[in-house]
Chain A
């Protein structure tokens, strides 16, 4: 048995009233380092002991407000700043959409802080306490009530304090001893603790290294389900067919849908392999208007409403100083003017240089309408006053 010193004097009570009365007397006697131990919170005891209100609610309030602020900051930083996330044209940062997460974070921060504070402010966890050495004290969580006055209290006096407690109607009054050397953690507990912390650091170190090191080997892909899909891609090989190709050629003697090309002039713009001049369709006022309408929709974005290569895309590229940008062709240039209608038709159908094919967007009849309208634009580009009918000349002067 190691040497002990007095921790304090402990009085035991059997009911709420007597412990409450005792607490009042001890409070009035001016003790400071003392406590009441009860199996449940006794209402009115705060006053009887003179316990001052705790600071806990204010810290909780601060934590809640931090949660609110941090979550709004997080939402703004991630979705509006670090990686601007544009969804259906909605504003990048709008408070109403951020309220649910901000609210939940406020509660989370406040609750976790409150939880931690109960222990931090109460000095828990504390697995060892001198009072636990008393057999009787086990009843403090059952049906008995205890008052403990610590020897550290300035007013503590072994005789007088004991007398005071005895006079409060205690069922028993005992001295509680604590060992001088205190309780130390067993060696293996320390060992396990240190080992656990060390092992817990390993994944963090590995993750940190992986993020900052450069390597030639590809990333480790634990689940490669999307990388290896059971399907054949374009130009891939396949053991299924004699020619070893996954793509199948067209079957002899068949024509794919929409590829009949009965009228070559109409479909391809060629006659006997050469670009055809003239139109394979009837040239009418309606066709011209249709051509204007389609041209304004599909072509003017790059080529401009007048066809001079000054559409908004071209202007914007120029403004940005995009060096690699190939400017759209001026369609009123002699180079285009000299082309037969069939060649212009073929350009719309097949695309040229950086201009893609418009076959998917513009049906055959509309392509010819655009060619017709373009002819009118070209005619317009070098028109003189002599081309205007006499009665209209006054209007445009």
Chain B
């Protein structure tokens, strides 16, 4: 069991003849358990956590205050007005839903592709997904005008005998985002169960034993259970893969099925999906790099993991850049003067500043990842990732606001200005996101313990000849 892993500590070197190690340092199963569980078992919260959590909760309370003010007063407290009726609320919705795509992508798509490096980061990314989708759902919920009637969105029988319109992309959104949230939550929870059981078995206080015991559902690591569990996990991954691609496609239908120049384009679904993965990975990097240092998980979330994510960021960044240029090409090639105007107006009109922020953050910033130095220096990655986060918010802003502000009737053209309430509501959503995230870091295993163990060399039978010999000897 005491197999030594003291090999090369730099696992970013590409050598096709050997499998790269995904867990560094002198780690065995017990030390992995210990490293991850200790984070959730600390007696009192650390000072840094308390400060961060207090700030996040205060920001969340501000969000709730803004929502109460909005509902009691009306949507007029926002900058939304003709012709820009879909302004920040939709921008924020698409921004958060986009971020929520990385988690399921890492969990599901990388799982199906047997990308074993996903195991150290998937739990983290899935949690981020769920919290981002919660933040996303807030915005359409409060944007409907009379939120207490938001249940009309669901096909429920009620005395007026009316049903939702199933041919509307806004209703498709309800189903797509609702399904996405549900499936992501189930996927996350299924993955958590064996690890919650680990914490339960290490629990020293009764309250921890009861609470973790409740959520572990009596998991006892039976292989007959593992057998079905693995099949189920793979099926969930296989279901979540098309789902994750469909969700942002459906979100893009909100725009693409309308007839507004700049929205009515067939490139929207793939373009939105690429952008979602791009923004999601950027957010994972932004959160993971500080956490990895704070929680001392450098052995589990290794430089190779971070470098792989940087590569994905570079690839998806170029996809997004390609989409930007193709939009221009099609606007010219279609010969449609309105389409052409919309795009020239985006780049050189009153919102040019937003457009060029978007291009420089989303297309130029990831290009730095061509340099290995930047791909392997954590603080540089964080800087690039934060730029990408900013750029992706502006992408949604450019799409939503520039097209609407120049609609078919030039007399109604207007320049959109957000109000303070708009800004505070969006800021408040970050508070909600970070509050949930900090709670997750404090009470749940931030790395999928059982999955990491399964990709360690010791987990594979016959990895050591001397080991085999030892077993034979013992048997004899």
Contact = CB atoms under 8 A, between A and B. Distances in A.
Contacts of A131: 220
A21 B218 contact: no
A98 interface: yes
A211 interface: yes
Contact of A36 (B161, B223, B474): B223
The interface size bin for chain B is: 35 or more
Contact of B232 (A90, A114, A169): A114
Contact of B166 (A75, A127, A223, A225): A75
Interface string A104-119: 1101101110110111
Most A C-beta atoms less than 10 A away, residue of B29, B190, B194, B242: B29
B346 to A, nearest CB: 28
B471 interface: yes
Interface in B242-284: 242-243, 246, 250, 253
A363 interface: no
A194 interface: no
A141 B220 CA distance: 7
Interface string B163-185: 11111010110011011001100
Given A111-B182, A223-B146, A101 B166 contact: yes
Contacts of A64: 239
Interface string B132-160: 00000000000000101000000100010
Contacts of A126: 217-218
Interface residues of A, number: 79
Contacts of A177: none
Given A125-B217, A141-B194, A85 B176 contact: no
A54 B231 contact: yes
Contacts of B50: none
Interface in A1-33: 14-18, 20-21, 23
B202 to A, nearest CB: 7
A200 interface: no
B471 A21 contact: yes
Interface string B214-235: 1001111111111111111001
A125 B216 CA distance: 8
A311 B198 CA distance: 83
Main SS class of interface, B = helix
Nearest to A115: B186
Contact of A57 (B198, B229, B235, B459): B235
Contacts of A114: 232, 235-236, 239
Among B218, B236, B253, max chain A CB count under 10 A is at B218
A122 B460 contact: no
B228 A121 contact: yes
Contact of B163 (A17, A54, A85, A105): A85
B327 interface: no
Interface in B6-40: 28-30, 33
A98 B231 CA distance: 30
A85 B194 CA distance: 49
Given A39-B29, A100-B253, A140 B220 contact: yes
A142 B29 contact: yes
A184 interface: no
A112 B167 contact: no
Interface stretch (B360-368, B399-407, B432-440, B447-455): B447-455
B244 to A, nearest CB: 10
B155 A132 contact: no
A41 interface: yes
B198 A39 contact: yes
Contacts of B382: none
A211 B163 contact: no
A103 interface: yes
Give 5 closest A-B pairs by Cβ, nearest first.
A143-B29, A78-B163, A125-B217, A169-B474, A100-B172
8 contacts: A16-B459, A41-B454, A43-B460, A110-B235, A115-B189, A121-B228, A140-B221, A142-B201
Interface of A: 14-18, 20-21, 23, 35-46, 49, 51, 54, 56-57, 60, 64, 74-75, 78-79, 82-83, 85, 87, 90, 94, 97-98, 100-101, 103-105, 107-108, 110-112, 114-115, 117-119, 121-122, 124-129, 131-132, 137-143, 146, 167-169, 211, 222-223, 225
Interface of B: 1, 28-30, 33, 146, 148, 155, 159, 161-167, 169, 171-172, 175-176, 178-179, 182-183, 186-187, 189-190, 194, 197-198, 200-202, 213-214, 217-232, 235-236, 239-240, 242-243, 246, 250, 253, 449-451, 453-454, 458-462, 467-468, 471, 474-475
